[in-house]
Amino acid sequence: HPEVYRMYMFHKNRTLPPNTLQADGRPEWVFVFGSNLAGRHGAGAALVASQQFQARTGVGYGREGISFAIPTKDQELDVLPLTGTKCKDIRYFIELFKLYALHRQDAHEKFFVTAIGTELAGYKHSDIAPLFIGSPENCSFPEEWMPFFAPEMADNEILFQD
């Protein structure tokens, strides 16, 4: 069997997706941000999501408007573990997101994934980025994550370079 390499897209960290529309007028990009299970979007990318991408207070996981919340903290705002707690760890929520993004490829939606968990939750890029390996090709990631996607790095596209 030949090796199959995915085409990943990358963007500068702390930037926003382009404000582009699909042919039917729907936004092309969905803003993916780190959240808490209480759905309090008061700081970091979560605040940006609530101010600019229709994230809703009280929704700590999933799609709202043109945003998608992936929890990195629980209801009490304590940091979630990366793995090992079955349905209450970051890996679980990322796996659910990957399935959702795969399902939305037919709708021609793209997902602009922020560096979730690397600021307010305190994880390193090297902790979080590998959890996204295997994401569908309609996802763009912070360029700092590029080294963690090896060996799948054959023909990657850097988006939004200045």
- The residues, any chain, with a CB within 8 Å of residue 39's CB and separated by 6 or more, are 56, 57, 58, 59, 60, 69
Q: Please identify which residue in the block is written with the tokens 């090796």.
A: 3
Q: Are 133 and 148 in contact (CB under 8 A)?
A: yes
What confidence tens digit (pLDDT) does each residue in 110-131 have? 999 999 999 999 999 999 999 9
Pick from 116, 9, 100: nearest CA to 62: 100
Predicted model pTM:
0.88
CA atoms within 13 A on the CB side of 35: 31
pLDDT tens track, the chain, 162 positions: 334 446 788 888 889 998 888 888 888 999 999 999 999 999 999 999 999 999 999 999 999 999 999 999 999 999 999 998 777 899 999 999 999 999 998 888 999 999 999 999 999 999 999 999 999 999 999 999 988 886 555 455 555 444
